[in-house]
Structure 1
Amino acid sequence: MRWDELEAAVTAVLRIMERFPQPVDAETLVNYANENDPAWRLRSAAVVVHYQALVVIDLLELAWSPDGANRQINEAGRSYLAVRAAGSQTALYEDPRLRDWAALTEARESFRGHQITEANTFSRLELSQWRQFSEVAIDFHPRLTVLTGANGAGKTTLLNVLAPHFSWAAQLVTSSARYRELGSGTHVARVGQLSYSNGVWTPIQEVLTEQTTVQPLQIPSQQPVPGIFISSHRSISGYQALQNLPAKFSTADALLTQFANEVQTRYSGGNSRYSPLYRMKEALVAAAMYAYGNAAVVANSEARDIWEGFQDVLAKLLPRALAFRRLVVEDGDVWVKTSSSQFPLEAVSGGVSAVVELGWQIFLRGRGADSFTVCIDEPENHLHPELQRTILPTLLEAFPLATYVVATHSPFVVTSSRDSLVYALRNDEHGRVRSRQVRDINSSATSDETLMSVLGLDTPLPQWAEVELQRALTAVPDDPKADDLRLLRERLIAAGLGAQFPAAIDALRTDGSTL
């Protein structure tokens, strides 16, 4: 912690506050403190120390904030400036209110040192008393952060908080119930805070109005984060014959925009003439046509890189049993060639199609990127358990410069990578959702063990089996003899539950029998 620089930044920000008779937003304060120098944000150390100064001002209560975002200097802040003006040292490092924050900040800075590159990404997300959440605190891993929990726990909601960074129109419904608690007028409520790897942090705010509306949260100091958002809605596409080919090969960004627009249209309930898969086929056929050139067409290196590079990605992502070899174009269609057969791109199974579309979007987003962030909601959709087990490891291998934030129900996805941070969203005693970092996760655990230890299931048994097991246990007397246990075992075997006999014995012991 650079305490001298931090004290100077705190002083500079407070002096800016003194100039204003009303509360001022964070961006104005830090910009004015740096004399509106447009280049100051290029100096990462300056960015970090000025946003840390805002935290210190809040912790020491040197300013008043009416909404958790704008600040106005108070008497404590003026006293701080008076001490500094007199030439006295304020010794921030000696203030007990800052000790825990300083230790935690240094630990997080050390953790950020493991980032794969300098490209900006998310560092920490905090939410408090918002929607179904009581308290949520997520520290993001440099490569893979996994969010898991039951339906309704809020996994997708957390991803949707991040979605505006990737131009994804997330559907967050703002309820009018909270508005009625606060009274008439439009209210801006602070619901959390988002921190970035570049040292900037920003409040997260919800605008409350009389009407129930669909709108994103406000992120006043939102920072650019290169990346992509992939929703849980996988496209269902039938065969469409190619209508025409572009006269000029498009860039990777343009191809991704075309694909993403079709996905967003369907996600929002709309429709268009072409499916996302059609846009992919159109791009691949064009890439094959322009890649190598001929006597009349000049070869296009970008087209060749996309045509060959995407096939390299598919070789890593597709299941080994498929024995993928390459793509070929014939009569305006893209064919998938394996070691034993070939078939049109539209004829692949739902699971393989889901993997192909995931790979296509991430591949295009990563073209020319130093590094980037990928948010994926339920990557396991349409996938066989074997593909669920391998999808994240293969994505990590295929795109080594990507940072992933994933929401999932699948125990196979949860345990698929040791080098990750896993957070479980669970209800507390009041029925509100809290996040818990799963520190002792067993990556070698079976899916049943993960379902119970991480996802919170009481039992992985089917409901009929649970009922039958309970009936068998109820029939056992309080003081069972050997014949009673033998009868229990026979009844379980007859019901197809013989493997549950040891668990049944444990249950009898837990219930207080004399076993």
Structure 2
Amino acid sequence: MHLTSLTLENFRCFEHLAVDFHPEFTVLIAPNGSGKTTVLDAARVALWSYVKGFDLGAGAGGGATLEIADVRLAPRPDGGMEPQLPARISAQGVWDDGMGERVWTQTRERVKPRSNAQENAAAKQLKTFASQLERQVRAGEAVILPLVSYLGTSRLWFEGRFTSAAKEVTLENSEYSRTSGYRGCLTYVSSFKAFCAWYGWVFRSYREEQILALERKQPLSETGQRFAGVIAVVTTAVDALVQEATGWHGLQYRASQNQQLVMDHPQFGTMPVEMLSDGTRNAIAMVADLAFRTYKLNPHLGAEAARQTPGIALIDEVDMFLHPSWQQTIVSSLRRAFPNIQFIVTTHSPQVLSTLPRDNIREIALTPAGGMARMPDFSPLAHESGAALAKVMGVHQAPPLPIQDDIHQFELLVRANQEHSDEARALRSKLDAAGYQFHDSDLATWRFLASRRAMEGKST
């Protein structure tokens, strides 16, 4: 399953917007308030037609429909705002049912309270396709279920104080179903609490099987090996994203540490996940959500569930809380951990952009015609982040501070061989007092140009 494109009409800030997606990884960029998250939310609404076809997915949307509040408002001459109808989301993509690309839509033609958006025939067929997959699962068939996941900016904090507690709880019978991998997959709310409960249960069950094997002096049972495979799926995915950047690795459950999830570090030892930095916790929560869903959906894939499961993951602010050095590896880490997942993400990070060619980037902008989505003219792959900042994001590499005029004037004086003039000395003192530091290479270049200019003057 993957999305090829979305077309929005009168959806939130856009009168009209058409955006296509790379089949593997798409990064959406735009200034604040220009519609990046709107595009992700439109994709979320489009995928709801599939998820609601599962019994356990039906409550997973959290409002993943075209709501009255999503209808674009346009100003009236009298100063009021008027809803613009119809509002429509059209998605084009492949469902892996052998029928090729389809176009399915949700349309809202009324803003009457308690009125509903309408689906076209293809959207209803997508729900039917999901229901058919559910029947195959219940019949014991090893059918592949695609991942669907929305990770918004509230993924870390929405549940209140972040906790990695995995205390002993009784899992509902529905949690044993493969289709429970769709529960909460399109909500704005973090699902890390649910992951902790499930992973704690897996780890405790694995330890029980280990103890039984030791007591009986027998090899680990098939059940124990399955639990070991689950743990391997999660730890491998989390380590792929976190270990190289931070040193933290080996996500595990420890009853001796207040029944919490913990990780190991070669320097700092073993710490509860909730004690780690925001950036580390965010990365763990993000990749753990994806990994545990891939295994729940496709347990028959065993340790390869994360790598072999297809699907679509929507991530808002993929670089959230991450150090620039980590931002430079986040894309490659996600692709390595989940090579069959189509990622559609947003970012404000030039470091993220510097790891991608232009084919994977879409600039979103509001225009008088409604909206625009395009590939940038410049491909930032492997360039310095400053090039992505200037040539893709349209931002000057130097911030627009008042001292820029003084810096420029000092440069002109040095180039004119007047570095030791009273004006230059005064400017240098002013800049030093402000905390500005010149690059030695810049000063050397300006002085060289000044000396060459002086030599040319003597020769004439």
TM-score > 0.5 by shorter chain: yes
**In structure 2, what residue type is equivalent to 1:235?**
L
Give me the whole-angstrom Cα distance separating, in 2, the residues matched to 1:203 and 1:157. Answer: 16
Name the SS of the counterpart of 1:416 in structure 2.
coil
**In structure 1, what residue type is equivalent to 2:148?**
G
Q: Deviations over 1:264-301 (max 9, x none)?
A: 4xx47xxxxxx844433322221112126143997355
1:49-198 counterparts in 2 under 5 A?
120-127=1-8, 131-133=12-14, 136-164=17-45, 165-166=47-48, 167-168=60-61, 169-170=63-64, 173-175=69-71, 177-178=73-74, 188-189=85-86, 191=88, 193-197=90-94, 198=100
Structure 2: tracts of 5 or more residues without a match? 49-59, 95-99, 128-145, 299-307, 447-460
Q: Does 1:309 align with 2:233?
A: yes
Q: Does 1:444 align with 2:373?
A: no
- Candidates 146, 156, 169, aligned match of 1:235: 156
| Alignment-derived partner of residue 134 in structure 2 | none
Q: Deviations over 1:229-261 (max 9, x none)?
A: 111213233447555333789437576566x48
The CA deviation at 1:498 is 2.8
Name the SS of the counterpart of 1:498 in structure 2.
coil
| Alignment-derived partner of residue 384 in structure 1 | 323
| Contact 1:366/1:372 (8 A) holds in 2 | no
Q: Deviations over 1:335-357 (max 9, x none)?
A: 21222311112212111111111
| Contact 1:325/1:339 (8 A) holds in 2 | no
Q: How many residues align?
A: 366
| Contact 2:71/2:83 (8 A) holds in 1 | no
The CA deviation at 1:361 is 1.3
| Contact 1:186/1:208 (8 A) holds in 2 | no
| Alignment-derived partner of residue 262 in structure 2 | 335
The CA deviation at 1:204 is 5.0
Name the SS of the counterpart of 2:122 in structure 1.
coil
Give me the whole-angstrom Cα distance separating, in 2, the residues matched to 1:137 and 1:401. Answer: 25
| Alignment-derived partner of residue 281 in structure 1 | 196
Structure 1: tracts of 5 or more residues without a match? 1-119, 269-274, 506-515
The CA deviation at 1:366 is 2.1
| Contact 1:370/1:401 (8 A) holds in 2 | yes
The CA deviation at 1:308 is 2.1
| Contact 2:242/2:249 (8 A) holds in 1 | yes
Q: Does 1:483 align with 2:418?
A: yes
Give me the whole-angstrom Cα distance separating, in 2, the residues matched to 1:217 and 1:408. Answer: 32
Give me the whole-angstrom Cα distance separating, in 1, the residues matched to 2:412 and 2:231. Answer: 70
Give me the whole-angstrom Cα distance separating, in 1, the residues matched to 2:164 and 2:21. Answer: 41
- Candidates 180, 199, 203, aligned match of 2:101: 199
Give me the whole-angstrom Cα distance separating, in 1, the residues matched to 2:325 and 2:358. Answer: 20
| Contact 1:188/1:205 (8 A) holds in 2 | no
| Alignment-derived partner of residue 438 in structure 2 | 498
Residues 1:216 and 1:150: Cα distance change in structure 2 (over 3 Å): farther
The CA deviation at 1:474 is 7.4
1:417-432 counterparts in 2 under 5 A?
417-418=356-357, 420-428=359-367, 430=368
Give me the whole-angstrom Cα distance separating, in 1, the residues matched to 2:75 and 2:412. Answer: 57
Give me the whole-angstrom Cα distance separating, in 1, the residues matched to 2:291 and 2:37. Answer: 23
| Contact 2:14/2:371 (8 A) holds in 1 | yes
Name the SS of the counterpart of 1:318 in structure 2.
helix
Residues 1:192 and 1:399: Cα distance change in structure 2 (over 3 Å): closer
Give me the whole-angstrom Cα distance separating, in 2, the residues matched to 1:121 and 1:156. Answer: 19
**In structure 2, what residue type is equivalent to 1:461?**
A
Q: Deviations over 1:206-250 (max 9, x none)?
A: 434267x99878666333675211112132334475553337894
Give me the whole-angstrom Cα distance separating, in 1, the residues matched to 2:408 and 2:321. Answer: 38
Residues 1:226 and 1:283: Cα distance change in structure 2 (over 3 Å): closer
Q: Does 1:251 align with 2:176?
A: yes
The CA deviation at 1:477 is 9.9
| Alignment-derived partner of residue 111 in structure 2 | 209
Q: Does 1:221 align with 2:122?
A: yes
The CA deviation at 1:127 is 3.3
The CA deviation at 1:398 is 0.7
Residues 1:177 and 1:336: Cα distance change in structure 2 (over 3 Å): closer
Give me the whole-angstrom Cα distance separating, in 2, the residues matched to 1:187 and 1:462. Answer: 39
**In structure 2, what residue type is equivalent to 1:202?**
W
**In structure 2, what residue type is equivalent to 1:333?**
Q
The CA deviation at 1:473 is 4.8
Give me the whole-angstrom Cα distance separating, in 2, the residues matched to 1:214 and 1:484. Answer: 73
1:335-374 counterparts in 2 under 5 A?
335-340=262-267, 341-367=269-295, 368=298, 370-374=309-313
Name the SS of the counterpart of 2:197 in structure 1.
helix
Residues 1:490 and 1:187: Cα distance change in structure 2 (over 3 Å): closer
| Contact 1:144/1:420 (8 A) holds in 2 | no
Cα RMSD for the two superposed structures: 4.2
Q: Report the identity percentage.
A: 16
